[in-house]
Amino acid sequence: MTRSITLLGATGSIGASTLDLVRRNPDDWNVEALSANCSAKELAALAREFGAKVAVVGDESCLDELKDALAGSGIEAAGGSEALCEAAARPVDMTVAAIVGCAGLAPTMAAVRRGGTVALANKEALVSAGDVMMSAVAQNGATLLPTDSEHNAIFQCLAGGKIEDVARITLTASGGPLRTWSREAIDAATPEQAVAHPNWSMGAKISVDSATMMNKGLEYIEAFHLFPVGLDRLRIVVHPQSVIHSMVEYRDRSTLAQLGPSDMRVPIASCLAWPERMETPLEPLDLSSIGELTFHAPDEARFPATRIAREAIEAGGGAPAVLNAANEIAVEAFLAGQIGFSRITAVAETTLASYSAAAPASLEDVLALDAEARIRARDALENTALV
């Protein structure tokens, strides 16, 4: 059966992986809408290739370029935040929400409010707006399919099980490129070293988050909202091979683990085909060639981000949104050479401790809190040494 799909964030890494799978199964999908921030020519080429009905740029200043690139195609061109939300609200079988950052919050919410199936790859939706987003999912009868490899792995391990039977959920972390480094070497890490992830091909920001372990901390917050087992039943373990993507232990002490290649097309395929399965072009997992799987407890003395994220959950209210915003500002400063590597989590923690924010009750509250937290994080940067 042919299904319809809207892809928000078509030119990013998640978008490219999603479209690769759609391209390999052209008879299974009708592409309704594609979006990008400003990559007008690339977006237009994809819209033409996949026969999209509409293409949207989030940055309205790129709209004229998009219109020129789509001239004569019959594909509608639109731009701006309102147009993104309108595209997200179109009736389709599946919406893939892969816009990075808070720019993806409103479109993701528009898709949820339509009550459809949303494959969620926007981290901020649950980190910054977890209670607001999950409430909207329940109120509108939407289906949320987690696309992050760890959360998708948990989702797969829960298939056929009951959440009340879960004793523990374990998210695995590769540990990033600096996992074995001394504290002194970590302090001196350069942006080039921090983004050199050993297993995954990712953008600069998420690669730095992996190096600090903040990515796992933020995923911890996401898991808290997605899988309501309580904070005491969530844990993180470092697994350098990135073969086991997460595990679920049940109260009878059976533990189910999801294994697979370190390729985002695996969890994306799980979402696209749900509740069925689909082919991917990846090689079968060869455990004999991998040789061994190892596990270590996180070292929160060298990498405190997971502790900070856990404390943000415990603090509640707007703390997770503050943490997310402050971390983004700190990572941006590190990549620009303004602060040293270890100052990333220091700035995030300082900002988090600088004020307590009430729990946001709406998307507007989330965006206002995010903006305020960014101002406070920039203030913290002014008092932060380069090293």
- Going by pLDDT thresholds of 50, 70 and 90, the confidence category of residue 205 is confident
**Within-domain flag for 339:** yes
Q: How many CB atoms lie within 10 A of CB 156?
A: 20
Whether 46 and 108 map to the same domain: the answer is yes
Q: What pLDDT does residue 203 have?
A: 72
Write out the two tokens for 254. Answer: 């059976």
Question: Domain total for the chain?
Answer: 3
**For range 154-170, the mean pLDDT:** 96
Given 260, 295, 330, the domain boundary residue is 295
Residues 58 and 80 sit within 8 Å (Cβ to Cβ) = yes
In this model, does residue 314 exceed pLDDT 80? Answer: yes
Write out the two tokens for 192. Answer: 């080039």
Given 146, 173, 191, the domain boundary residue is 146
The 3-state DSSP class for residue 173 equals: strand
**Within-domain flag for 300:** no
Strands of 255-259's sheet in order across: 234-238, 166-173, 244-250, 255-259
Whether 63 and 17 map to the same domain: the answer is yes
Alpha-carbon span 65 to 79, nearest angstrom: 11
- Going by pLDDT thresholds of 50, 70 and 90, the confidence category of residue 384 is low
Whether 20 and 91 map to the same domain: the answer is yes
Whether 21 and 141 map to the same domain: the answer is yes
Q: What pLDDT does residue 248 have?
A: 98
**Within-domain flag for 311:** no
In this model, does residue 175 exceed pLDDT 50? Answer: yes
**For range 138-165, the mean pLDDT:** 96
Question: DSSP readout, 167-198?
Answer: EEEEEEE---TTTT--HHHHHT--HHHHT--S
- Mean of pLDDT over the chain: 94
Write out the two tokens for 282. Answer: 């990846």
Closest listed residue to residue 65, CA positions, set 52, 73, 77, 75: 77
Burial 376-387 (b: 16+ CB within 10 A, else e): bbbebbeebeee
Whether 83 and 200 map to the same domain: the answer is no
**% pLDDT > 70, the chain:** 98
**pTM listed for this prediction:** 0.93
Closest listed residue to residue 96, CA positions, set 191, 31, 158: 31
The distance between the two most distant Cα atoms of the chain, rounded to a whole number of Å, is 62
In this model, does residue 386 exceed pLDDT 50? Answer: no
Kind plus residue range of the DSSP H or E element containing 170: strand 166-173
Given 116, 146, 176, the domain boundary residue is 146
Give pLDDT tens digits for 206-231: 889 999 999 999 999 999 999 999 99
Where residue 72 falls (left for φ over 0; alpha for ψ -120 to 50; beta otherwise) is left
Q: What pLDDT does residue 201 have?
A: 64
In this model, does residue 383 exceed pLDDT 80? Answer: no
Q: What pLDDT does residue 385 have?
A: 52
- Going by pLDDT thresholds of 50, 70 and 90, the confidence category of residue 1 is confident
CATH of the domain at 94: 3.40.50.720
- Going by pLDDT thresholds of 50, 70 and 90, the confidence category of residue 198 is confident
Whether 163 and 199 map to the same domain: the answer is yes
CA 185 to mean position of chain CA atoms? 28
In this model, does residue 387 exceed pLDDT 60? Answer: no
Domain that holds residue 172: 147-295
At 186, which amino acid appears? Answer: I
Distances (CA, A) of 14 to 8, 11, 142, 144, 192: 10, 8, 21, 17, 22
Q: What pLDDT does residue 263 have?
A: 93
Tracing tokens 């219109």 back to the chain, one arrives at 67
Whether 213 and 281 map to the same domain: the answer is yes
Closest listed residue to residue 11, CA positions, set 102, 101, 99: 99
Q: Which residue has the higher pLDDT, 382 or 28?
A: 28
Whether 325 and 379 map to the same domain: the answer is yes
Q: What pLDDT does residue 266 have?
A: 97
Whether 12 and 26 map to the same domain: the answer is yes
Whether 170 and 244 map to the same domain: the answer is yes
Question: DSSP readout, 83-108?
Answer: HHHHHHTS--SEEEE---SGGGHHHH
**Within-domain flag for 305:** no
In this model, does residue 247 exceed pLDDT 80? Answer: yes
Residues 6 or more apart from 368 whose CB is under 8 A from it? 360
**For range 297-317, the mean pLDDT:** 95
**Within-domain flag for 307:** no
**% pLDDT > 90, the chain:** 90
CATH of the domain at 332: 1.10.1740.10
Whether 339 and 213 map to the same domain: the answer is no
List alpha helices for 282-318, DSSP H. 287-290, 305-315
In this model, does residue 4 exceed pLDDT 80? Answer: yes
At 25, which amino acid appears? Answer: N
Whether 248 and 328 map to the same domain: the answer is no
**Within-domain flag for 216:** yes
Residues 77 and 67 sit within 8 Å (Cβ to Cβ) = yes
**Within-domain flag for 158:** yes
**Within-domain flag for 309:** no
